[in-house]
């Protein structure tokens, strides 16, 4: 058994890392932009965006985990070969990542527009949740119901 992930697994882990780094970089850039250019905060716009951000964060987070779990249950019932399981797992993971990343980006943009720190704090929470979703060997083995040797070359 090799000690290198199969290319499909490497690509999924790389995608997660790139999406995570993109969120962090956007948050840092957004923070420095907002400190350099003090926007005139419209309180009404800020309240509307806060409401939307909370709904997106809760809805996106819940949808991410529900859709992922449903996809994994379907994968466990229908997928036969390791290639088919990896493809289904990758697709389910990408959907989960997107549903977690979108509210975070919305919050960062909300912070840039309104200079309201609550947007940035919510984005940080979402980024931490996203970081916790990095695919691990044990998680992939459990979700795809495969052995460790199936994930490595």
Average pLDDT over the chain, rounded to whole? 91
> Does residue 97 surpass a pLDDT of 60?
yes
Domain positions in the chain are 7-150
pTM of the model: 0.90
| Average pLDDT score over residue span 117-123 | 95
Region of 110 (left: φ > 0; alpha: ψ -120 to 50; beta: rest) is alpha
Distances in Å between the alpha carbon of 20 and those of 60, 76, 85, 127, 139? 16, 28, 24, 7, 19
State the pLDDT at residue 34: 83
- 102 or 36, which is more confident: 102
Task: List, in order, residues 6 or more apart from 13 with CB less than 8 Å away.
Answer: 5, 134, 135
Q: How confident is the model at residue 82 (pLDDT cuts 50, 70, 90)?
A: confident
| Average pLDDT score over residue span 85-94 | 94
pLDDT of 19-66, one tens digit each?
999 999 999 999 998 888 775 667 888 899 999 999 999 999 999 999
| Average pLDDT score over residue span 141-153 | 86
State the pLDDT at residue 123: 97
Distances in Å between the alpha carbon of 55 and those of 6, 38, 48, 65, 103? 37, 27, 11, 15, 9
Q: How confident is the model at residue 132 (pLDDT cuts 50, 70, 90)?
A: very high
The 3-state DSSP composition of the chain as helix, strand, coil percent (nearest 5) reads 80, 0, 15
| Average pLDDT score over residue span 116-141 | 95
> Does residue 149 surpass a pLDDT of 90?
no
State the pLDDT at residue 99: 97
* Residue 8 to residue 106: CA distance in whole angstroms: 29
Contact 98, 20 (CB under 8 A): no
Distances in Å between the alpha carbon of 70 and those of 76, 93, 116? 10, 12, 36
Q: How confident is the model at residue 6 (pLDDT cuts 50, 70, 90)?
A: confident
Which two structure tokens, joined as six digits, stand for 65? 């985990």
């Amino acid at each position: 058994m090799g000690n290198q992930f199969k290319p499909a697994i490497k690509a999924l882990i790389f995608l997660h890392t790139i999406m995570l780094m993109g969120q962090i970089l956007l948050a840092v850039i957004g923070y420095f932009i907002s400190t350099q250019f003090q926007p005139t905060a419209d309180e009404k716009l800020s309240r509307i965006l806060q409401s939307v951000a909370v709904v997106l964060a809760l809805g996106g987070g819940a949808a991410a985990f529900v859709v992922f779990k449903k996809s994994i249950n379907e994968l466990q019932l229908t997928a036969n070969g390791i290639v088919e399981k990896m493809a289904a797992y990758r697709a389910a993971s990408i959907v989960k990542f997107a549903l977690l990343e979108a509210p975070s980006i919305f919050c960062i943009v909300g912070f840039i527009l309104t200079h309201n720190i609550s947007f940035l704090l919510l984005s940080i929470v979402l980024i931490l949740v996203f970081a916790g979703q990095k695919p691990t060997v044990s998680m992939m083995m459990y979700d795809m119901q495969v052995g460790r040797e199936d994930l490595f070359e």
